[in-house]
Amino acid sequence: MPGSAAAGSGSPPAGGWRPSAGMSALRLRARMMAAIRRFFDERGVLEVETPALSGAAATDRHLQSLPVRTGGGRRYLHTSPEFPMKRLLAAGSGPIWQSCHVFRDGEAGRRHNPEFSLLEWYRPGFGEADLIAEVAELLTRVGVSGGDYRVLGYREAFVRYASLDPFTAGENELAARIRDRGLGAGAMSRSDSLDLVFSQVVAASLPPGETVFINRFPAEQAALARLCDDDPDCAQRFECFLGPAELANGYVELTDADEQRRRFEADNRARESAGLPRMPVDERLLKALESGLPYCSGVALGLDRLLMLLAGAEDIAEVLAFPWEIA
């Protein structure tokens, strides 16, 4: 999808009424969405809608759900449409996609807005390689990629760009690497240390303009994904990057209800250890898994970040009509 948008003002002052994005950016968004809809129509993937409010919430301690009081009690604005979409899959929907606004508390900055647009789709019968290829095709269709891409394992990426093995490095080695890079000196869990090195060193080192899929993440960083058949320490999860910009997160879906419940419970224990409140588990999702979720893969792609690349924007406010400061 050719074309670019002139940058808007970006980072508008609180209290302003004018949109922060220029009209060219808004027109570019409309063309991008039309191209995405054609992409899925051609492939017979059904467009669906699911509720933004749920009685359940994200248990992942790195995701903070926004609570809402309603006449029916407390609900949470969804951080992703994943759980109700999986319920549709279990009910026999076949391949489905959705574009919607999602909400995450505490995420605001040059590349983050607490309310943002997410594209999510699920493909019954697809393995990881199938879905990676389809993500690459979509990026080509909208015009941010020429079609070429490479797949790099999480361990290989760490060794190449951070000079350490993430599966064998101890906490002291990770802490030293973080200090050496000037990323901080405070105490962190091993998982948080890996996340920091991954985002600030590994991802930041990816070649500009190149599409890279990093896969085989540590199992503890993939609470909703199947484990790799050849290595239970790795999960069938991938992230997509265009240069250092993260665009998408996908995986081969876990279908075992009992294992999913154990992982939700482990998430909540981790939240409690971090001083965070427990989150209500989605019992309806677990019932759907019990009834039978087909083998499938799914992916979530950030549409605002994709639009930033198309528009050549440096701040997410340049592609949002009304970011949180003036919403």
Domain boundaries, the chain: 147-251
- Residues pairing with 54 in the sheet: 76
Residue 189 scores a pLDDT above 90: no
Q: What is the rounded distance in angstroms from the CA atom of residue 31 to the CA atom of residue 86? A: 28
Q: How confident is the model at residue 323 (pLDDT cuts 50, 70, 90)?
A: very high
- Residues counted in the chain: 327
The yes-or-no verdict on residue 108 having pLDDT over 90 is: no
Supply the mean pLDDT for the chain. 93
Percent of the chain with pLDDT over 70: 95
Q: Which two tokens stand for residue 103?
A: 């909400």
Average pLDDT over residues 33-39: 98
pTM, two decimals, is 0.93
Share of the chain above pLDDT 90, in %: 82
| Cβ contact 219:235 at 8 Å | yes
Q: Which residues contact 172 (CB under 8 A, 6 or more apart)?
A: none
Q: Look at residue 16 in the predicted model and tell me its pLDDT.
A: 79
pLDDT in tens, 273-295: 989 999 999 999 999 999 999 99
Q: Which residue has the tokens 């063309």?
A: 31
Q: Which of 323, 326, 156, 191 is nearest to 266 (CA)?
A: 191
Cα 35 to Cα 37: distance, rounded to the nearest angstrom: 5
Q: Taking Cα atoms as reference points, which of 229, 221, 208, 210 lies closest to residue 154?
A: 221
